[in-house]
């Protein structure tokens, strides 16, 4: 039987996505443990998280007492053993099947048999990721949208061996956290990235072909189609290096040429132009503070 979820662990919490998921969990009232192997990365994430909630106070969305309560529920660690008491562990590490499977094996060794493991993968098979665990029936897909602390949608995906009760518990937790889940099949890219990865690559190729500037391409998409964020702005937020990893995970499973990484994307990453986190991608940024802070 799956117990009630009270404590949530987030792996890869130094990254933009992991930090955002930790905010979602702590803000919803859950004790939240942010785990990452990089102490320096965790320190930066903690500063950005505090700035995010400070801005929420300034905008009148919460008072200082609520902010302090949320931050008090959130702790950070570089020791995986600290996740031993978690009822739910959400991984948001690199989009690499080997890395994710190895993490699940490490979590197996420290977490309770009742712990639910959720993967934030946006392109990889939940069933294949779950094969890294000795308890694949307790693994679910839980793909948050970036930035997780602002976007409500979560793609929920069962693997072939996922226990229906485990999936239902994870679904309920998602709703309790103020998110809006949708159920998807264990297919490459699920709903969003099956559409977005090729589309975003098309925008990059349009820049590379000289069709228009990055600014004009994004403006056209936002004004004509009603998008709140243009594709190139979104890639800057995701990280150009992350976009490459998405392509490398998605293309081999689909063989869709539009899903392959455009040459311009690879050149920009080689030059260190990673988007918001480096201060420059398709656009320039004054700082790399958490989106929405």
Catalytic residue set: 122, 143, 155, 193
- What Cα–Cα distance (Å) separates residue 163 from each residue in 135, 166, 222, 292? 10, 5, 41, 36
Asked if 45 and 76 count as a contact pair (C-beta separation under 8 A), the reply is yes
Spatial separation of the C-alpha atoms in residues 166 and 115, rounded to whole Å: 10
- What Cα–Cα distance (Å) separates residue 79 from each residue in 15, 25, 100, 283? 17, 20, 17, 36
Q: Number of helices (H) and strands (E), helices first, in the chain?
A: 11, 8
Joined tokens for residue 156:
């929920």
In whole angstroms, how large is the CA radius of gyration of the chain? 19
Joined tokens for residue 58:
């300034």
Asked if 250 and 199 count as a contact pair (C-beta separation under 8 A), the reply is no
* Residues 45-56: b if buried by 16+ CB within 10 A, e if exposed: bbebbeebbeeb
- What Cα–Cα distance (Å) separates residue 272 from each residue in 96, 186, 231? 21, 33, 20
- What Cα–Cα distance (Å) separates residue 265 from each residue in 90, 204, 226, 242? 29, 7, 25, 11
- The torsion of the CA quartet 191, 193, 196, 199, rounded to 10 degrees, works out to -110
Pairing of strands 7-11, 88-91: parallel
Joined tokens for residue 148:
């997780």
Joined tokens for residue 49:
């998280």
């Amino acid at each position: 039987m799956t117990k009630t979820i009270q404590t949530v662990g987030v792996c890869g919490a130094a990254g933009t996505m992991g930090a955002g998921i930790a905010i979602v969990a702590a803000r919803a009232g859950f004790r939240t443990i942010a785990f990452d192997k990089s102490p320096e990365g965790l320190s930066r994430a903690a500063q950005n998280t505090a700035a995010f909630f400070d801005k929420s106070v300034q905008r009148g969305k919460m008072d200082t007492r609520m902010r302090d309560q949320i931050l008090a529920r959130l702790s950070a660690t570089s020791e995986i053993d600290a996740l031993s008491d978690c009822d739910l562990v959400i991984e948001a590490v690199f989009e690499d099947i080997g890395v994710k499977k190895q993490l699940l094996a490490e979590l197996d060794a420290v977490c309770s048999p009742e712990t639910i493991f959720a993967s934030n993968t946006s392109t990889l098979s939940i069933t294949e990721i779950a094969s890294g665990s000795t308890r694949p029936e307790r693994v679910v897909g839980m793909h948050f949208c970036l930035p997780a602390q602002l976007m409500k949608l979560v793609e929920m995906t069962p693997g072939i061996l996922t226990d229906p009760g485990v999936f239902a518990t994870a679904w309920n937790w998602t709703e309790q956290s103020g998110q809006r889940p949708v159920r998807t099949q264990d297919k490459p890219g699920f709903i969003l990235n099956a559409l977005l990865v090729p589309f975003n690559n098309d925008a990059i190729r349009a820049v590379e072909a000289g069709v228009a500037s990055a600014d004009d391409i994004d403006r056209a998409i936002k004004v004509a189609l009603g998008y709140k964020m243009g594709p190139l702005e979104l890639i800057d937020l995701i990280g150009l290096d992350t976009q490459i990893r998405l392509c490398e995970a998605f293309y081999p499973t689909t063989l869709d040429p539009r899903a392959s990484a455009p040459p311009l994307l690879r050149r920009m990453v080689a030059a260190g132009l990673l988007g918001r986190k480096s201060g420059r991608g398709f656009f320039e940024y004054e700082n790399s503070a958490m989106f929405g802070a």
